[in-house]
Structure 1
């Protein structure tokens, strides 16, 4: 099955194409300016071209559903739905944190903890088994303080994501590894996507919404502007 993957939940605008588990092409760029709105469809074109496929060859779309940037998730979800409606193919959605842990599984860590920077000392996080990738604690919005994650003192744990730097500065975990140069990436959605296809876990596109985790806090308009 030829699958298109979209991951737009972070500063990394990321598109990949696979043939079953074989990665055919990935096109992505990390930008401080969140380039999803201007770059996503160009990256889809480039990824398909690199894979030697056309859009009509795609048989399913997998979306990194968040948590993460509200605007980025809206753009990714709208594009994924558009492709699925137009091509009459199924939509699969995978927690974006799962793509962050994939490169670290089987590397002698007991736990992998993704940390997506939210605001101030807040992160989006979950805890995964470093060997199997099994979720050990569910995704949550967590305020970091000196006592956070102290249950991992002396354990082989790696914290990954753009929230890892502020975690390193405040957590008293001298044995932990911190890697802040990690973002959700479409190329690491493949394993979970194939699991969901095997189990026929497809999204109902009429009701699907990204995993925002928190309500959007926009700028409230003045009455005169409404």
Structure 2
């Protein structure tokens, strides 16, 4: 039996899930801004209690790898590393964009005729995005995109694209083509992370617990507060 705990903290949604041999056992989500640091461990313990599982039952911990919220990714990564180190179990990192595309493609009719384009808000007119087939094959790798009327014109000229994620709403008013479709209300979920983590577990694709860092995609810029005189 393979029991995998998955953590999704890349957005404002704090989400945890348990999969047993690839089947979803339980999931818990909290949609509160800036709640990850104070509620993630509570959600994990409640999920384990509600499914009659223990930390010692876990075969691996999976974490949403990014891109996304810098603070959220740091919290999820630290929690996953701590659990893996304490329990001596493998760490699995799953692309946030790929997991988001997976959860949409799995419930989309005639998905084989579409390309799936998750977009995560990166402020102003920028998003983190990638492009996938319905089977999860990468067409365009994760990258920061500046949105304008010329964005992805080549792909839209030859394919039907489905856009979703909290950054897609900024793109919709810029397009006027029947090849673009938009879904609202799609947020990253630990259940999709767990489904992809099972595949990674079978392939033995594990990350180094000591040196793992989330995939931020862009360097984080910090500023020093001005000293009042």
TM-score, normalised to structure 2, is 0.91
Aligned structure 1 segments of 4 or more residues deviating by more than 6 angstroms: none
Give the 5 Å matches for 1:43-192: 43-105=43-105, 107-109=109-111, 110-130=114-134, 132-150=135-153, 151-153=155-157, 155-192=159-196
SS of the equivalent of 1:172 reads: coil
CA RMSD in angstroms, aligned pairs only: 1.8
Q: Which among 202, 207, 214 is matched to residue 198 of structure 1?
A: 202
Larger relative contact order, structure 1 or 2 (CA cutoff 8 Å, min sep 6)? 2
CA positional deviation for 1:222? 4.2
* 1:209 alignment partner in structure 2: 213
Give the distance between the partners of 2:131 and 2:17, measured in 1 at CA.
25
* 1:12 alignment partner in structure 2: 13
Q: Is the 8 A contact 2:19 2:195 kept in 1?
A: no
Alignment gaps of 5+ in structure 1: none
Give the distance between the partners of 1:222 and 1:215, measured in 2 at CA.
22
Give the distance between the partners of 2:121 and 2:109, measured in 1 at CA.
24
Q: How many residues align?
A: 223
Give the distance between the partners of 2:174 and 2:31, measured in 1 at CA.
26
CA positional deviation for 1:2? 0.6
Give the distance between the partners of 1:154 and 1:195, measured in 2 at CA.
31
Q: Is the 8 A contact 2:97 2:130 kept in 1?
A: yes
Give the distance between the partners of 1:178 and 1:34, measured in 2 at CA.
27
TM-score, normalised to structure 1, is 0.93
Give the distance between the partners of 1:191 and 1:28, measured in 2 at CA.
16
Q: Is the 8 A contact 2:18 2:194 kept in 1?
A: no
